[in-house]
């Protein structure tokens, strides 16, 4: 159910209850008491007085105008023009028009109740006799709208610390005040004790959950160190709350320590349990997010690698080569293409593979691309891939997107083009550089408007797979593109 409908139902229910209550009280008083007090001003002016016309009806209409003003301003004008459609000028004009109409309504009520003083409705505008109700309506609608917007903002799911504390403070305040109001009708002293101790407990909860326990966890402090910090701190914070309740209530001062001790015996294990549950939920969410991000990136990346346009170009090149030469180059090209397809279908599905296998894939890809550009004298491709002796492992298909991007955007068979690729290992770190020229794609190129999903996915994979263990630098001009990647293996 929408909030506007709930507000309308609640407002209607309140209006009906208030109307029936006032009607019952007023008619009962009219029957049991003399009407002399209400009728006297009219009699002094030589005018007849009607209880319903000059007293009850204006009073009921007065309450009804408040009800109608709430529905019109809050449920229609503010909700539609200020919140949903953002038409502030139109909303302001309609608000002023509605207030003007209600001004006449309140003036009419006052005229009915005081016809013995004024026979003209305009005098109520001049003397400001309806200014109070109008200001009350405006203040209530503004405060209610601000409070509603604030609650909506606080209840929105956000990950920052401020919003979490604000949401929990709002919920705690509602619960504390509700119980306090209930206890005030039973025993005020218990209500005051509940209020002071609840505020203290919630304050210690916030300090524990958002400051002290995270600090102890980060610093790997044992439980004993946490208690050495927590107990004196809780006692110092308890002093103003305990004295506020103990001294006015004339309770023995030893009760101060007993109350503090009992509260913390209950509070410390409870807060630690809540904190551990929160950390467990956060860890599960982070693991799910990491797994989902990696799976999505891997799937999209795998799909992007089998590029029909690239395979079409390679097959055309192999076909042309087979017509000129009769076996060697064609067989070599087909073999390398088969190795690449086998790598993508099998080893690409593993979490980690040998760095040697990743570099073999790079070699095959570069050789096939050089085969495609061999007949053009404008293209220069240089690559130095250091041989790897140790059994280093790496996530599959992390390096190839940068090389593919270089051949995709850096090669033009009709203009001078270059690609320089360098890879080496030093002290357990992989250093990978790709430097290439940039050329605009022809208008009829099917890849002209493609942005390269593989490159974006590999950036996400680096973030998930090598957090704080990689550095990626990219510099680009109108004519050149340079990429440097460092990975701690």
Residue-wise pLDDT for 445-473, tens only, equals 555 555 555 677 788 888 888 888 889 88
**pTM of the predicted structure, to 2 decimals:** 0.38
Task: Tell me the backbone φ, ψ of residue 202, rounded to 5 degrees.
Answer: -70, -35
Instruction: Say which range, 333-342, 410-419, 478-487, has the weakest mean pLDDT.
Output: 333-342
The whole-chain average pLDDT of the chain stands at: 76
- Residues 6+ away with beta carbon under 8 Å from 271: 204, 205, 208, 209, 213
What pLDDT does 107 receive?
A: 78
What confidence score (pLDDT) does residue 433 get? 92
Predicted confidence (pLDDT) at residue 122 exceeds the cutoff of 50: no
Cα–Cα distance measured from residue 400 to residue 366, given in angstroms and rounded to the nearest whole number = 10
pLDDT (tens digit, 9 = 90+) per residue, 414-450?
Answer: 788 888 999 988 888 889 999 998 876 666 655 555 5
Start-to-end CA span in the chain (Å): 55
Please name the residues in contact with 90: beta carbons below 8 A apart, sequence gap of 6 or more.
Answer: 81
Residue 109 sits at the vertex; the CA angle it makes with 106 and 114, to the nearest 5 degrees, is 125
Measured CA angle at 352 (ends 351, 358), to 5 deg = 125
pLDDT at 124: 46
| Distant-in-sequence, close-in-space partners of 23: CB < 8 Å, separation ≥ 6 | 56, 60
pLDDT in tens, 234-252: 888 888 887 766 555 545 5
124, 129, 134, 139: CA torsion to nearest 10: 160
Please give the average per-residue pLDDT across 343-356, as a whole number.
72
pLDDT for res 118? 47
List every span in the chain annotated with CATH 3.30.565.10.
306-488
Q: Give the alpha-carbon dihedral of 176, 178, 184, 190, to 10 degrees.
A: -30
Work out the average pLDDT over 203-231. 87
Q: Any idea which of 232-241, 284-293, 363-372 has the lowest mean pLDDT?
A: 284-293
Rounded to whole angstroms, the Cα distance separating 237 from 228 reads 15
With 0-12 / 13-18 / 19 or more C-beta atoms within 10 angstroms meaning exposed / middle / buried, residue 234 is: buried
Is the confidence at residue 157, as pLDDT, over 70?
Answer: no
Residue 86 confidence class, pLDDT cut points 50, 70, 90: confident
Answer whether 355's CB lies under 8 Å from 394's CB: yes
What is the percent of the chain where pLDDT is above 90?
Answer: 2
pLDDT in tens, 293-315: 666 666 555 555 545 556 656 65
User: Residue 459 burial by CB count (10 A; 0-12/13-18/19+): exposed, middle or buried?
Assistant: middle
Q: Is the pLDDT of residue 112 over 80?
A: no
The arithmetic mean of pLDDT across residues 269-280, rounded, is 85
Is residue 323 pLDDT above 70, yes or no? no
pLDDT of residue 44: 64
Choice among 109-118, 205-214, 276-285, 401-410 with the minimum mean pLDDT: 109-118
Q: CATH number of the domain at 306-488, out of 3.40.50.1220, 3.40.50.2300, 3.65.10.10, 3.30.565.10?
A: 3.30.565.10
Higher confidence at residue 167 or residue 399?
399
Residue 379 has pLDDT above 80, yes or no: yes
Q: Find the mean pLDDT for residues 217-235.
A: 88
């Amino acid at each position: 159910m929408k909030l506007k409908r709930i507000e309308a139902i609640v407002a209607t229910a309140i209006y009906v209850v208030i109307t029936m209550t006032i009607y019952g009280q007023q008619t009962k008083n009219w029957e049991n008491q003399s009407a002399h007090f209400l009728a006297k001003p009219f009699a002094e002016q030589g005018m007849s007085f009607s209880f319903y016309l000059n007293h009850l009806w204006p009073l009921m209409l007065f309450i009804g105008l408040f009800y109608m003003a709430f529905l019109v301003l809050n449920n229609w004008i503010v909700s539609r023009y200020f919140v949903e459609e953002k038409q502030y000028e139109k909303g302001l004009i309609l608000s002023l028009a509605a207030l003007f109409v209600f001004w006449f309504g309140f003036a009419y009520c006052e005229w009915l109740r005081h016809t013995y003083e004024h026979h003209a409705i305009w005098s109520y505008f001049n003397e400001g006799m309806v200014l109070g109700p109008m200001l009350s309506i405006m203040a209530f609608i503004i405060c209610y709208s601000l409070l509603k917007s604030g609650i909506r903002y606080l209840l929105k799911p956000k990950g920052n610390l401020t919003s979490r504390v604000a949401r929990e403070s709002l919920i705690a305040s509602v619960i504390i005040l509700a119980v306090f109001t209930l206890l005030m009708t039973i025993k005020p002293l218990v209500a005051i004790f509940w209020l002071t101790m609840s505020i203290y407990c919630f304050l210690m909860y916030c300090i524990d959950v958002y400051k002290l326990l995270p600090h102890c966890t980060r610093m790997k402090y044992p439980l004993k160190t946490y208690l050495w910090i927590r107990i004196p701190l809780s006692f110092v914070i308890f002093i103003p709350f305990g004295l506020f309740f103990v001294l006015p209530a004339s309770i023995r001062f030893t009760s101060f320590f007993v109350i503090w001790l009992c509260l913390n015996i209950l509070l410390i294990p409870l807060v630690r349990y809540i904190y551990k549950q929160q950390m467990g939920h956060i860890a599960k969410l982070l693991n799910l997010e990491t797994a989902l991000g990696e799976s999505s990136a891997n799937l999209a990346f795998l799909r992007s690698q089998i590029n029909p346009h690239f395979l079409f170009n390679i097959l055309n090149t192999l076909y042309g080569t087979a017509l000129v030469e009769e076996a060697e180059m064609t067989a070599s090209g087909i073999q390398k293409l088969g190795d690449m397809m086998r790598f993508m279908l099998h080893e690409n599905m593993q979490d980690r593979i040998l760095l040697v296998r990743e570099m073999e894939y790079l070699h095959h890809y570069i050789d096939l691309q050089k085969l495609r550009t061999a007949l053009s004298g404008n293209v220069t491709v240089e690559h130095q891939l250091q041989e790897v002796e140790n059994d280093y492992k790496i996530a599959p298909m992390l390096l190839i997107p940068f090389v593919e991007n270089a051949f995709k955007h850096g090669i033009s068979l009709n203009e001078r083009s270059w690609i320089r690729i360098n890879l080496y290992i030093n002290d357990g770190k992989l250093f990978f550089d790709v430097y290439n020229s940039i050329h605009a794609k022809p208008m009829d190129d099917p890849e002209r408007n493609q942005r390269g999903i593989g490159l974006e996915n590999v950036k996400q994979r680096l973030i998930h797979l090598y957090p704080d263990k990689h550095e990626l630098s990219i510099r680009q001009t109108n004519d050149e593109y340079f990429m440097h990647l460092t990975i701690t293996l």
